[in-house]
Structure 1
Amino acid sequence: MKIVSHCLKIAAGDKADDGLSLSRSDGLLWYKDVGKHSAGEFSMAVVQANYQMEDGCQIESGSLSSDEDVDAMNGTFVGIYDGHGGAEAARFITANLFLNLKEIVSEHKGISVDVLRKAFSTTEEGFLSLVREKWKRLPQLASVGSCCLIGVIFAGTLYVANVGDSRLVLGRLGGDGRGTIAVQMTTDHNVSDEAVRNELMSLHPHDSQIVVLKHNVWRVKGLIQISRSIGDAYLKDSQFNQEPLLAKFRLPQPFYKPVLSSDPSIITHKLSPREQFMIFASDGLWEHLSNQEAVDIVRFNPRAGIARRLIKHALMVAAKKREMRYSDLKKIGRGIRRHFHDDISVIVIFFDHLLITAAKCSFFLPEAPLIL
């Protein structure tokens, strides 16, 4: 199957580049209203708030193996990468994670929890090598990181791996066959959650400052809210927690084990006909919409443009919180916009269960190219 790629890679002030034609509305919002993937349709959108766009997102539909002779490995890959401290980590993940996954799938002749974990560790090692290489010239790269949420649909099974607080929510038909229930499929690795704080404290029993309440916000070492990420070398290796790194990132004492982890939470889930769609989104969406609110918006509106509609609803809530109109919020430029909302990336995946059933039954047979 031909690989069909949809990636939003946006630099500050630049147009989106996904290899296809993307639309743009208020100057900071890019979207593809509807497209096809191996198991149905999708909609994707991203809105910029920071001076530099720090999010990345992608869909890859086609072969999940780098071995061209393996026709069986056809599926869909979805990624949401919510960067912080800069755009470099999210861009690195966009450029490398899927390729790493394909290589490892080829080596292991299939997809598994171990394959996903290895894809994350290989990507992490690659970015830390880049930090090491540029340390003297660009020490600030050590303070750049990214959340990373991926989903793989293959042979009727959903594989999900996550570090950070981007979230995957499933829209599932209720037991009475009427309503659609929101089912959160991922864990938010954010220390605002008591369970995440407890996990960190159990891993660092001799560090009374491993989590600190600062200005009514819990932070790891008083610096960052997430407990897992790709990058953030300054909290994973003490060699990057010293000059010439900026003083505001440096810890007063050296550490002897990584403060943050790049080990993803992973689940596998057999898809059933009750499951209608999935919403992958960075935490900027979930800051303003509950899981059920987002699912209801998808359920009661047309598929085309639904990712853009979700972002619009989130921004309307953000504007209302500041007692302003959505139309006025749209006029605010990047950078200043960050005071009202975060960069937000959304991908909505719809299921065609006939395609999923066919994939379960015949994924060992070559298929015709998928062309949008």
Structure 2
Amino acid sequence: MHKVLQTVVNLFKRKNDDLIAFDEDPYTRSINLERHCFGEFSMANAQANTIMEDQSQVEVASHNALYLGVYDGHGGVEASLYVLNNLFNNLLRFAHDNDNAIAEATLREAVADTERRFFDYVLNNIVQIRTIGKVGTCCLAGVLWKGVLYIANLGDSRAVIGSVVNRRVSAVQLTTDHNCNDPVIREELVSLHPGDDTIVMEKNGWRVKGIIMVSRSIGDAYLKRPPFLLPASFPSYEKVPDPFERGVVSAEPEMLTRVIEETDKFLIFASDGLWELMSNDQAVQIVHKNPRNGIAKRLVTTALVEAARRRNVKYRAMMTTTPGKEPNVGRRTFHDDISVIVVFLDNKTPLIKKHVHDLSYRGSTDGSQPSGFALSALTVAESHSFTGDLKKSFKKRFKGSTSKGQSSRSAEGLHLLLDMEGDSGDQTESSKGKSPWDPVRKHLKWKKH
């Protein structure tokens, strides 16, 4: 075989072997490709810490909307799990109060309310969980609502959009990394805390008070509220701020609104574990040049290969390590937790005729569950459409598959959802009388208990 051709073949085999290794890796998982009402999406993650502190979710609406969330926890998993379980629901509640519509203010209010309620959670649990005042999470939340993208960001997870003009793809970073290693962030902190010469300190990289790299987060109560400020919370080299008139870490999200243009082809939402190992341009080129199916897995695999290369080992050798920071054998010494969502934007007009269902996907689990969108007036502002071969569409949706083995999607969650919908007294004009769920109930031979 010609030498150049052999090189190409070897490169192809190596790339495929890395993807196979990802599927065999006990600390990775992915959802290869699923539909949303504006196109398709893919998810993947890799664990490095003893407990996976990253959380991610995609909430698919039957039409009108799509919700994305990446929550990179630190100090523990309580904050990222709390945001995973509450922020989206808070958004739906505020949207209901906003005449069943989403705007930038709606998302901002949802984030603020999630922060407030997490502090209540900390107060209620601090006796049982003494360390919970030191737990926090970055939060990257986005909503695509009728062709407009709203993003709220705290911390150093990142949203990047891939735009294609004349077949050339470019990466546009939509969010700011609230990380003290950025001199702009350090300047912002100094301006917000005049007279505090130790607001940013260089301790294994630049950090707020020499403690934490991110300048914005949800949680981190001990850095925000006096009741949680204990001398033991701070390292021996740094004294407790006195007086503690304002938090040294902010809970104010950076907000962005973007009308999706025809040139905007896909979004990448990812925790900093990905961006530590590749640039925006590298990520966008990978998405643009490769098949959609499993594209998030390909991004994470590329990052893991790079993490191993930096330690002069192969990915498969790195796979033998266990989660945690134990020197030489801890996975965290190679890379951080990584979470990635790739969303393809095929059409600003929801694809109602393709029977996209209200489903919830989480990076920590295979398959899907019914989404809160199903009970929200956000998705009934326009008439439901269950025309066509419903039986075939329904079976295909709930049979579906993910990578790392094919997982059957049970209809039990939908039965529960239908129970809830049947008990609801809050019906809109479009849902009174004949329920849009009737065809689904008929297909399931559903009976109310």
Coarse TM-score class (shorter-chain normalised)? 0.7 to 0.9
- The residue number in structure 2 matching 1:224 is 212
1:320-342, Cα deviation, whole Å (9 max, x unpaired)? 11111111112211111000000
- The residue number in structure 1 matching 2:142 is 151
1:232-268, Cα deviation, whole Å (9 max, x unpaired)? 0010012112167586698433411111111111111
Overall identity of the aligned pairs, in %:
43
* Structure 2 counterpart of 1:57, one-letter code: S
Partners of 2:43 and 2:106 lie apart in 1 by 26
Gaps of 5+ in 2: 1-21, 325-329, 354-378, 387-392, 398-449
* Structure 2 counterpart of 1:89, one-letter code: A
- The residue number in structure 2 matching 1:123 is 114
SS of the aligned residue for 2:131 comes to helix
- The residue number in structure 2 matching 1:15 is none
SS of the aligned residue for 1:313 comes to helix
Contact 1:228 1:262 in 2 (8 A): yes
SS of the aligned residue for 2:90 comes to helix
Does 2:124 match 1:133? Answer: yes
Relative to structure 1, is the Cα distance of residues 218 and 245 closer, same or farther in structure 2, using a 3 angstrom cutoff?
closer
Does 2:141 match 1:142? Answer: no
- The residue number in structure 2 matching 1:108 is 98
Say which of 62, 84, 89 aligns to 1:99: 89
SS of the aligned residue for 1:98 comes to helix
Cα deviation, residue 136, structure 1: 2.5
Q: How does 1:250-329 map to 2 (within 5 A)?
A: 251-254=239-242, 255-329=244-318
Q: How does 1:1-372 map to 2 (within 5 A)?
A: 25-62=24-61, 74-109=64-99, 110-174=101-165, 177-215=166-204, 217-242=205-230, 245=233, 251-254=239-242, 255-335=244-324, 336-353=330-347, 355-356=349-350, 364-368=381-385, 372=397
Partners of 1:220 and 1:102 lie apart in 2 by 33
**TM-score, normalisation: structure 1:** 0.86
Q: Which has the higher strand share?
A: 1
Partners of 2:237 and 2:341 lie apart in 1 by 32
Contact 1:136 1:244 in 2 (8 A): no
1:334-354, Cα deviation, whole Å (9 max, x unpaired)? 111000000000000001216
Contact 1:171 1:180 in 2 (8 A): yes
Cα deviation, residue 100, structure 1: 0.2
SS of the aligned residue for 1:256 comes to coil
Relative to structure 1, is the Cα distance of residues 354 and 199 closer, same or farther in structure 2, using a 3 angstrom cutoff?
closer
Contact 1:242 1:250 in 2 (8 A): no
Cα deviation, residue 366, structure 1: 2.0
Contact 2:211 2:234 in 1 (8 A): no
Partners of 2:260 and 2:225 lie apart in 1 by 40
SS of the aligned residue for 2:61 comes to strand
Contact 1:40 1:355 in 2 (8 A): no
Contact 1:82 1:147 in 2 (8 A): yes
Give the CA RMSD over aligned residues.
2.2
Cα deviation, residue 160, structure 1: 0.9
Gaps of 5+ in 1: 1-22, 64-72
Cα deviation, residue 112, structure 1: 1.6
Partners of 1:252 and 1:262 lie apart in 2 by 20
* Structure 1 counterpart of 2:212, one-letter code: I
